[in-house]
Amino acid sequence: MPKIRKQYQRGFTTLDNTPLNDEHLTWKAKGLFAYLWSKPDDWDYRVTEVAKHAVDGIGSTSTGVNELEKAGYLKRTQKNENGVFGDSVWTLSEKPIFKNPITENPISDNASTGKPYTENPQLLNTDLLNTDKTNKRETKKDDDDTAASQADENPFDVATQAGINVNSGLHLSIFLDFIKTLGNPLVCWAIRQTDNNAQHPNWSYLLTVLKNLEANSVRTIEQAEQLSAQHKQQSKQRRGYNAPQVRETLPDWFGKDYSKPSKSTYQAPDDSQDVMPDD
């Protein structure tokens, strides 16, 4: 039987063998558990952060995390304070004690922040500008109310209205991470951009928008609007540069030689046969 020799180094991690010997776990889940177990308690435990430290990608990492959670080695709870989603708390166990857990704040398919859903929610009109200089006080109050309304919005409700599924197993943890990183107003803005610009609003389009915001360190709606305007301008420039050139059709008469005949080719008319008049 082949044997292996181990060379122990510093910086090792002490880990119970239970998850490593669990034949119901994939190698991905086992390796992921060992990696998470090696990190300190104050480490940034988010799927998007974990995915940065391997080549698997977000989707594969999310699958491994969900597998550990389903097997009972991981429990994730989402803080919900005053209707605003806060940090998620990850609890790891070397024994599968969280199998079929009942979390303190379970996240259902219809997550709610305590505000009732209405069939005709109030829409924010951003197209109308107040040009009345005598109404500055009311304008400022309206802006404050709008900002407060955006802060109170529930991204899950906005996504449901747009018909985008953010609650499936692979989507939910990633969506919650973006809520934590970008905040409710910016995530809601991304959902509306997806709803307005995508022919068929879906999770893939929304994920691209959210990744773009995070990659450009966008943290406010104003910055997001500026970034969106910049992309639109660049897109217009590319379309103008790549536009096909239309060649005009020349008329039939163009190119024909209408110049007078030269002297060398000119022939005088033959009048020898003409009848002379009688005197």
Question: What residue ranges do the domains of the chain occupy?
Answer: 14-108, 150-237
Q: Enumerate residues 6+ apart whose C-beta is below 8 A from 162.
A: 191, 192, 194, 195, 201
Of 40 and 123, the structure prediction assigns the larger pLDDT to 40
What is the rounded distance in angstroms from the CA atom of residue 31 to the CA atom of residue 19?
Answer: 10
pLDDT at position 244 is 60
148 has pLDDT over 60: no
For domain 14-108, say whether CATH 1.10.10.10 is its number. yes
The model's pLDDT over 91-142, given as tens digits with 9 standing for 90+, comes to 999 999 988 644 444 443 333 333 333 333 333 333 334 444 444 444 444 5
- What's the pTM value of the predicted model, to 2 decimals? 0.44
Percent above pLDDT 90 for the chain: 25
The model's pLDDT over 166-216, given as tens digits with 9 standing for 90+, comes to 887 778 888 888 888 888 899 999 999 999 988 889 999 999 999 999 889
CA atoms within a 13 Å half-sphere pointing along the CA-CB vector of 51 = 16
